[in-house]
Amino acid sequence: MFAEFTEALFSIFFVETLINGLLLGGVLALLSLGLNLIFGVIDVVWICYAEIIMLGMYTIYFLHVDGGMPLILAAACGVGVTALLGWLTHRLVIGYLLQAAPINQLLATGGLLFFFQGAAMVAFGIEFRNLGVSLGSLAVSEDIYLSWTRLLSFAIAAGVVVVLYQFLSRSYLGAAIRAISQDREIMILMGVNTKKLYLLTSAIGGGLAGLAAALLALQYDVHPFIGLSFGPITFMVCVMGGLGNMVGGFLAAFVFSELITIGGYFAELEWGYVLAFAFFIAAMFVRPEGLFARKS
Amino acid sequence: MNSKLLIAVIAAILVALPFIGLDSYPLHLVIVILIWSFAYTGWSIMGRFGLVSLGHGAFMAIGGYVTALLWNELGLSPWIGIPVAMICAGGMAVLIGYPCFRFRIVGHYFALVTLALSEVVRQVIIATRDTTGGSLGYTPERHGDGWSVIALQSDDRTIFYFVALFVWMAGIVIWRMVDRSMARYALEAISEDEDASAAVGVQVTKEKLKVTVLSAVMTAFAGAMYCQYQMFISPDTIGGVGISLQIVFAVVVGGIYNSLGPTIGAVITLLLAEVLRIWIGTEAACITDKICLNVAGVPLLVYGIMLVLFIIFLPKGIVGACADRWRARGNNGALAK
């Protein structure tokens, strides 16, 4: 038993697992970025975030497969659609609830979750749809293969973090967004149009969901309930990184993805998820404000 | 005095329901509504104090699966299995609740930690698919035909109806007992301001833990009831994030601050789903020969819109809004005099 374990630990496949975990972390990081931005600025958890990604995946699927649009263009349209959805979510739902109890805001987006699922089911049916595009994999050595899609996700996630960071720290709008996340009340007195900034943030958050959708569509089949399979993990990543803390979320994504892939390597994939969630619960007790949160 | 008469009339109607020629299907609906109402009532016992748990799907699944597994694997009667399941759920509630309350995990964070709990339980059920059947579901073995006291199984819906009715009423009584206890004042103080209530001597962790365990145990019991009645459970019908959200939403729709709110919520949400399903059907509706709509998704869609509208316009739920209006009218009448 123990010998088997050590053998498994030092096998070449374990190295592959570790690298794949790292790359999965890229996808998770991208998934959590938009949610983190929205939480940091508007102080609302969008439970329906994964469903917006699902609708983005459908947009890309239909434009590419049925519409015959090039993949890149379809992905760009997907980003546009999800950005619009993000804008609408704030305009039609959250905007009316800014003064309500935080938990009501969370529940309202939960209502949107069901609405998006129902709408997708009505419009697209429940069949699994596959984009049918494979980017193949990169052979690092004889035994190690890395999927190009995951490498791409990793690169894009890293790129987006850098761009978002630059945007928030250098640009005028970014400074305004950072200021509003620090003090909501005073910004109104300074003559800032908070409503506009919230809508802009929601649209950016939605757009990031579209970007995640483009990468997920390459790896997974689309169906109306796909959001439930990666929604919970996205929230866990954000909370563990310290809600609203984008760098923390980025690091947490890698901790989670390693736990999932390592758990999946030694047992079944579900145990990987169990391990990750159990770790999350344990981590919350050690540092309720998030593992990577800065002390305020 | 009038309200007592009203309660007596409603009670009489409820008891007479199976004997006035109600068909099997409506009776089934009523039983399902009663079982869920009990679970929703269990959630609202803690939910009304701002302890919004998205983990009650986990407690419900523990209730159903522990009872059924003990029966199938060890031959333990549900008479023992259900209490064991309730103890397991209570233990789980302490395991999650104690550190949460000790380290002041509240609001969003509490909701998300408990959400992780429902996902953990769901994934464990799926991962142990060799025993639990995973996503395909699990069926307790039948013990002979007809009515079996040992296995708590019955073909006869009437018997189940009375059991469910009794359990539901017990749920309402428990809700009222909590409502009239000192714990209620302590918990209300805690939900307003934790530091201040701790300063005046409220034992914050202990009070929160008590109500959480009570709520978890009730929900587990509802899960076991559901399992015994439906004779089929799966991670998606009694556990997971979907059920956890369903529990919260039904209570929000009905009204979180009133003992009958969760029941009204169950009646509205379950009937709505059922009516829409029958009315719209499940056939695909084709507009043109290329564009077909899958109308099976309509109930979900309507449900979602309804929830958003409720939270924006009627955050106290139907019962809460009615009570407010009634009270306001009473006050106006008093002023007019």
DSSP codes joined into one string, A6-37: HHHHTSHHHHHHHHHHHHHHHHHHHHHHHHHH
Confidence category of residue B336, pLDDT binned at 50, 70, 90: very low
- Say if residue B294's pLDDT is above 50: yes
**Chain B window 151-210: which residues touch A at a Cβ cutoff of 8 Å?**
none
Segment B217-244 shows an average pLDDT of 90
Cβ count within 10 A of residue B116:
27
- Say if residue B170's pLDDT is above 90: yes
Cβ count within 10 A of residue B133:
19
Interval A191-248: pLDDT, tens: 778 888 899 999 999 999 999 898 888 888 888 888 888 888 888 888 887 776 777 8
For residues B256 and B44, is the Cβ–Cβ distance under 8 A? Answer: yes
Q: What is the least distance, in Å, from the CA of A102 to any CA of chain B?
A: 7
Name which of A295, A107, A126, A296 is nearest B306 in CA terms: A107
Interstrand relation of A145-147 and A137-139 (parallel, antiparallel or unpaired) = antiparallel
Decide if B58 touches A, using CB distance below 8 A: no
Collect all residues of chain B within an 8 Å Cβ-Cβ radius of residue A231.
Answer: 241
The position carrying tokens 């981590």 is A283
Contact criterion met (CB < 8 Å) for B108 and A45: yes
Interval B83-137: pLDDT, tens: 999 999 999 999 889 888 888 888 778 888 888 888 889 888 988 888 888 888 8
The position carrying tokens 């996630």 is A157
Interval B250-268: pLDDT, tens: 898 888 888 889 999 999 8
- Crossing angle of helices A12-42/A148-170, nearest 10°? 30
Decide if B127 touches A, using CB distance below 8 A: yes
Q: Which of B248, B288, B312 to mutate to test the interface with A (most CBs of A within 10 A)?
A: B312
For residues B244 and B111, is the Cβ–Cβ distance under 8 A? Answer: no
* CATH classification code of B22-336: 1.10.3470
- Say if residue B35's pLDDT is above 90: yes
CATH class of A23-135+143-286: mainly alpha
Collect all residues of chain B within an 8 Å Cβ-Cβ radius of residue A117.
Answer: 297, 300, 304
CA distance A196 to A217: 31
Amino acid identity of residue B330, one-letter, is: G
B77-83, long-range: CB < 8 A, 24+ apart: B77/B150, B77/B151, B77/B152, B78/B151, B78/B152, B78/B224, B78/B228, B79/B150, B79/B152, B81/B224, B82/B152, B82/B221, B82/B224
Confidence category of residue B287, pLDDT binned at 50, 70, 90: low
Confidence category of residue A6, pLDDT binned at 50, 70, 90: low
Decide if B315 touches A, using CB distance below 8 A: yes
- Say if residue A56's pLDDT is above 90: yes
pLDDT at A293 (0 to 100):
59
- Say if residue B284's pLDDT is above 80: no
Decide if B91 touches A, using CB distance below 8 A: no
Contact criterion met (CB < 8 Å) for A281 and B113: yes
Using CB atoms, pick whichever of A104, A232, A274 lies closest to residue B124.
Answer: A274
The position carrying tokens 């209006």 is B325
Name which of A288, A179, A188 is nearest A242 in CA terms: A288
Q: Which of A284, A287, A289, A291 to mutate to test the interface with B (most CBs of B within 10 A)?
A: A284
Instruction: Round the CA-based radius of gyration of chain A to a whole number and report it.
Output: 20
Segment A101-119 shows an average pLDDT of 87
Decide if B272 touches A, using CB distance below 8 A: no
Using CB atoms, pick whichever of A111, A271, A284 lies closest to residue B308.
Answer: A111
Collect all residues of chain B within an 8 Å Cβ-Cβ radius of residue A96.
Answer: 312
pLDDT at A295 (0 to 100):
46
Main-chain dihedrals φ then ψ at residue B78, nearest 5 degrees:
-55, -20
- Crossing angle of helices B240-254/A102-124, nearest 10°? 120
Decide if B136 touches A, using CB distance below 8 A: no
For residues A121 and A224, is the Cβ–Cβ distance under 8 A? Answer: yes
Contact criterion met (CB < 8 Å) for B100 and A93: no
Q: Domain spans of chain A?
A: 23-135+143-286
Q: Which of B48, B109, B112, B286 to mutate to test the interface with A (most CBs of A within 10 A)?
A: B112
pLDDT at B56 (0 to 100):
94
pLDDT at A165 (0 to 100):
84
Contact criterion met (CB < 8 Å) for A111 and B96: no
pLDDT at A296 (0 to 100):
42
Confidence category of residue B65, pLDDT binned at 50, 70, 90: very high
Confidence category of residue B323, pLDDT binned at 50, 70, 90: confident
Using CB atoms, pick whichever of B108, B240, B241 lies closest to residue A106.
Answer: B108
For residues A215 and A26, is the Cβ–Cβ distance under 8 A? Answer: no
Contact criterion met (CB < 8 Å) for A118 and B299: yes
Decide if B286 touches A, using CB distance below 8 A: no
Using CB atoms, pick whichever of A107, A231, A235 lies closest to residue B248.
Answer: A107
The more confident residue out of B182 and A15 is B182
Interval A133-181: pLDDT, tens: 777 777 767 767 777 877 888 888 888 888 888 888 888 888 888 888 7
**B129: nearest CA in chain A?**
A270
pLDDT at B110 (0 to 100):
87
Q: Compute the count of residue pairs across chains A and B with CB atoms less than 8 Å apart.
A: 155
Cβ count within 10 A of residue B120:
23
Confidence category of residue B167, pLDDT binned at 50, 70, 90: very high
Name every residue whose Cβ is closer than 8 Å to that of residue B67 and which is 6 or more positions away in sequence.
B78, B81, B82, B84, B85, B140, B223, B224, B227, B228
Task: Record the pTM.
Answer: 0.85
CA distance B194 to B190: 5
Q: What is the least distance, in Å, from the CA of A142 to any CA of chain B?
A: 32
CA distance A84 to B184: 44
Residue B330 backbone zone (phi > 0: left; psi -120 to 50: alpha; other: beta): alpha
pLDDT at A205 (0 to 100):
92
Q: Domain spans of chain B?
A: 22-336
- Say if residue B295's pLDDT is above 70: yes
Q: Which of B46, B120, B132 to mutate to test the interface with A (most CBs of A within 10 A)?
A: B120
CA distance A207 to A81: 8
Q: Which DSSP letter does residue A89 get?
A: I
Contact criterion met (CB < 8 Å) for A122 and B116: no
Contact criterion met (CB < 8 Å) for B304 and A116: yes
pLDDT at B40 (0 to 100):
95
Interval A70-107: pLDDT, tens: 888 999 999 999 999 999 999 999 988 888 877 788 88
Collect all residues of chain B within an 8 Å Cβ-Cβ radius of residue A119.
Answer: 297, 301
Contact criterion met (CB < 8 Å) for B303 and A118: yes
